[in-house]
Amino acid sequence: MAVSQAAHAERPDRRRPATDSAGRSAGRSAGRPAGRAAGHRDPATEAVHEPAHSSVPSPFLDPAAMRVRYRREGLHEQGLAPDPVRQFARWFAEAAESGIHEPNAMILATADASGRPTARTVLLKGFDERGLVFFTNYRSRKGRDIDANPAVSLVFPWHAIARQVIVQGRAERTGRDETAAYFRTRPHGSQLGAWASEQSEVVASREELDRMYAELARRYPEGEDVPAPPHWGGYRVVPEEVEFWQGRENRLHDRLRYTRRPGGGDPTAWRIERLSP
């Protein structure tokens, strides 16, 4: 949102007509023209959702016309936890309390050996001072990427509360004990699914997938112990940088970044810097 608005403000789209359908000037609509109706206020973030006035005749919903003015209180250096894990723990709890759907859903970006990136959603299943853990198929595309290049990034996109957390770090496999302990907590159907799916490979049809699952369900009926597949397990993302982003008014967002000081180990060894929004 911020990016599209900034781009719009700095490089006016020449394809846009000078006025929108309601006769307002496209240039003025980036601000708040006098007399324009205020948008609705979101009590969770105190953000104001401005009414979308699209000036582009298009059969699609125009994302450039969507604007949210963030009003939420700021993020200050003095209020920050000394290390990003404790800061993350606070924000994660607040995200959960806010009622966000799946606050543990995070975007994982990986890059292959040639640097070609891909991103997808995974679920955070644990975190502590060692890092953030998710589970997946080691033979999947992300697994192969990480084998070749363990540098990854995570994004928690908590849009509903005008926050995001970005982690940059290195992914390492969790121990088999940790994987087995987590696998035992999964519902029986998900355990079978981990065996049935050759994640990221082409599958001939939905029927083929269902057939593999049914075969496994016959072999391991409900109640029977299902071992964790050897090609399935956890990754721990060991953070090197963690940025906390808080949406503020006039796009002057707060960005506070923790960077691990060389030497590692000591949880207090983090440098904190403010970044320009």
- Give the whole-angstrom CA distance, residue 110 versus residue 16: 36
Among 105, 109, 111, 238, binds ligand FMN (CB under 6 A): 105
Whose Cβ is closer to ligand FMN: residue 101's or residue 218's? 101
Sort 167 into a burial class: Cβ within 10 Å, 0-12 / 13-18 / 19+.
buried
Q: Is 69 in the site for ligand FMN (CB under 6 A)?
A: no
CB 220 within 8 A of CB 229: no
HSE (CB half, 13 Å, CA atoms) of 221? 1
By CB under 6 A, residue 121 contacts ligand FMN: yes
Binding test (CB under 6 A) with ligand FMN, winner from 4, 21, 25, 118: 118
Cβ distance to ligand FMN smaller for residue 52 or 96? 96
**d(C-alpha 24, C-alpha 89), whole Å:** 45
- Shortest Å, Cβ 88 to ligand FMN: 18
Q: Name the segment binding ligand FMN (CB under 6 A); options: 16-24, 52-60, 90-98, 135-143.
A: 135-143
Measured from the CB atom, the residue of 75 and 108 that comes closer to ligand FMN is 108
274 belongs to the catalytic site: no
SS (H, E, C) 8-48: HHHCCCCCCCCECCCCCECCHHHCCCCCCCCCEEECCCCEE
102 interacts with ligand FMN by CB under 6 A: yes
The 3-state secondary structure of 190-256 reads HHHHHHHCCCCCCCCCHHHHHHHHHHHHHHCCCCCCCCCCCCEEEEEEEEEEEEEEECCHHHCCEEE
Tokens of 94: 């607040």
Q: Which residues pair with 239 in a beta bridge?
A: 169
Query: Any known ligand binding at 49?
Result: no
Instruction: Write the binding mask 138 to 177 for ligand FMN: x where contact by CB under 6 A, - elsewhere.
Output: --xxx-----------------------------------
Of the pair 142, 260, the CB lying nearest ligand FMN is at: 142
Cα angle: 158, vertex 163, 167; to 5 degrees: 85
Which residue ranges make up the annotated binding site for FMN?
Answer: 120-125, 135-136, 141-142, 164, 199-200, 245, 255
Q: Which residues bind ligand FMN (CB under 6 A)?
A: 102, 105, 118, 120-123, 134-136, 140-142, 199-200
Residues identified as active-site? 251
Which residue ranges make up the annotated binding site?
Answer: 120-125, 135-136, 141-142, 164, 182, 186, 190, 199-200, 245, 251-253, 255
